[in-house]
Amino acid sequence: MIAKTMTEMVKNSSAIRAMFEEGKRLAQQYGAENVYDFSLGNPNVPAPKEVKEAIGEILGTEDSLMVHGYMSNSGYEDVREAVAASLNKRFQTNFSGKNILMTVGAAGGLNVILKTLLNPGDEVLTFAPYFGEYRAYTANFGGILREVKPDTETFQPNLAEFERMLSPKTKAVIVNTPNNPTGVVYSEQTILRMAEILRSKQKEFGTAIYLISDEPYRELVYDGVKVPWLTKYYENTIVGYSFSKSLSLPGERIGYLVIPDEAEDSELIINAANVANRILGYVNAPSLFQRVVAKCLDAKADVAYYDRNRTALYEGLKKAGFSCIKPEGAFYLFVKSPVEDESVFCDMAKKYNLLLVPGSSFACPGFVRLAYCVSYETIINSLPKFEELGRECGLI
């Protein structure tokens, strides 16, 4: 009796749950310390101390009715102003509070902006490999997600194919940089060329094509890499942000959208996104955590922790004969499967209690994703297992 669209979704979801359950089963059988679960993108660095301090300060000094009460659907005005000021300082932009809409995480923000923009049948382009939820979010509003095939050498967007796939039906393009699942940061050169293509196609079609930049990993970068701030490269850019990773608050569902004045029909989009936030049932981003993040805009999770994991795992994998790009951001490594069907490889890995996610989940078969937001001990203890696995695959 459930909705037809949900039947397929439940089936896919069962596969993910099955993997999750398998992890729990293995932990029970072998002991949690002997299972190396690289399948979940759940931060394992605690929230910075500023979060707890901010909560204490807010509850100690602000009125309960204000802290826990309704506000404008777009969020507290002072919080939105604080976010705008912080972005302006970091990226030399000119946002004000009205350009910021506080959202229930980045997932909430993406749904709000897609609800705002999409008519049924509109196309949304994204670059494989990509976070599989984009497909569901687009389908929520009758949109059609089309994927640009990956460049598996660099994992930079395949812009030649992108240019061919843009059409008068393209309403939006979703990019995710630093990228889940590859950890790659799209280069400034990539972004410049992408903007050039988009502008030229807008002109050719007489349409507006919105670039939606999903940026939960913005602060998780290594080796001093810079992540271009996209509104400066392309006018019709809308940014979706989440504090899930930067402040290790994934359960709190707090993020924001940036809708710049330069975007076509900016005012209309701002108004409609405010309404969409309400009618999609979010109503507003959780109130206490709006006030918390406004006090923690300069705080950061311990990126050095992830960096140490990254280096140890990358070096260990290379030593075991595997090949992958050294990620510059996020907390994922995307490893080439040494056997053609990567789900077979995942099953082989499971025999060593190594839990990996098949690249097919990200529209990129032939690869597997490892989330290294785990303890350093897990990394170190897993390395001999990867060596055994590499040996079994004939890599060393």
On whether the CB atoms of residues 372 and 39 are closer than 8 A, the answer is no
- CA distances to 122, 130, 326 from 168, in Å: 9, 23, 37
Tokens of 385: 């297992």
Among 95, 127, 141, 186, interactor with a second copy by CB under 8 A: 141
Work out how close the CB of 97 gets to a second copy at its nearest, in angstroms, rounded to a whole number. 16
Number of amino acids touching a second copy (CB under 8 A): 76
Residue among 137 and 222 whose Cβ is closer to a second copy: 137
Return the residues of window 246-265 that contact a second copy according to CB under 8 A: 248-253, 264-265
Can you tell me which residue has the tokens 């309404």?
275
**What is the rounded distance in angstroms from the CA atom of residue 261 to the CA atom of residue 64?**
34
**What is the rounded distance in angstroms from the CA atom of residue 84 to the CA atom of residue 259?**
11
Work out how close the CB of 314 gets to a second copy at its nearest, in angstroms, rounded to a whole number. 24
Can you tell me which residue has the tokens 């990993």?
217
Return the residues of window 323-342 that contact a second copy according to CB under 8 A: none
Pairing of strands 123-127, 36-37: unpaired
Rounded (5°) CA angle 147-264-143: 30
148: β partners: 127
Residue among 136 and 393 whose Cβ is closer to a second copy: 136
Query: Is 314 exposed, middle or buried (CB count within 10 Å of its CB: 0-12, 13-18, 19+)?
Result: buried
Residue among 43 and 228 whose Cβ is closer to a second copy: 43
**What is the rounded distance in angstroms from the CA atom of residue 370 to the CA atom of residue 378?**
12
In a 13 Å sphere around the CA of 107, the CA atoms on its Cβ side amount to 12
Residue among 54 and 221 whose Cβ is closer to a second copy: 54
Work out how close the CB of 52 gets to a second copy at its nearest, in angstroms, rounded to a whole number. 6
Tell me if 137 contacts a second copy by CB under 8 A: yes
Residue among 194 and 249 whose Cβ is closer to a second copy: 249
Rounded (5°) CA angle 250-252-256: 85
Work out how close the CB of 392 gets to a second copy at its nearest, in angstroms, rounded to a whole number. 32
Residues in the chain: 396
Per-residue contact flags (x/-) with a second copy for residues 104 to 123, judged by CB under 8 A: xx-xxxxxx--xxxxx----
Among 133, 302, 347, 392, interactor with a second copy by CB under 8 A: 133
Work out how close the CB of 248 gets to a second copy at its nearest, in angstroms, rounded to a whole number. 6
Residue among 117 and 128 whose Cβ is closer to a second copy: 117
> Which residues, at least 6 apart from 227, have a Cβ–Cβ distance to it below 8 Å?
177, 178, 185, 215, 218, 221, 329
Return the residues of window 267-306 that contact a second copy according to CB under 8 A: 268-269, 271-272, 274-276, 278-289
| 222 CA to centre of own chain | 17
Return the residues of window 41-100 that contact a second copy according to CB under 8 A: 42-44, 46-47, 51-52, 55-56, 59, 63-65, 67-71
What is the DSSP secondary-structure string of 290-337?
Answer: HHHHHH-TT----HHHHHHHHHHHHHHHHHTT--BPPPSBTTEEEEE-
Residue among 179 and 274 whose Cβ is closer to a second copy: 274
Of 87-95, 242-250, 347-355, 358-366: span binding a second copy (CB under 8 A): 242-250
Work out how close the CB of 112 gets to a second copy at its nearest, in angstroms, rounded to a whole number. 8
Nearest Cα to Cα of residue 181 among 136, 210, 212, 150: 150
Residue among 190 and 378 whose Cβ is closer to a second copy: 378
Return the residues of window 146-205 that contact a second copy according to CB under 8 A: none
Of 183-191, 244-252, 337-345, 385-393: span binding a second copy (CB under 8 A): 244-252
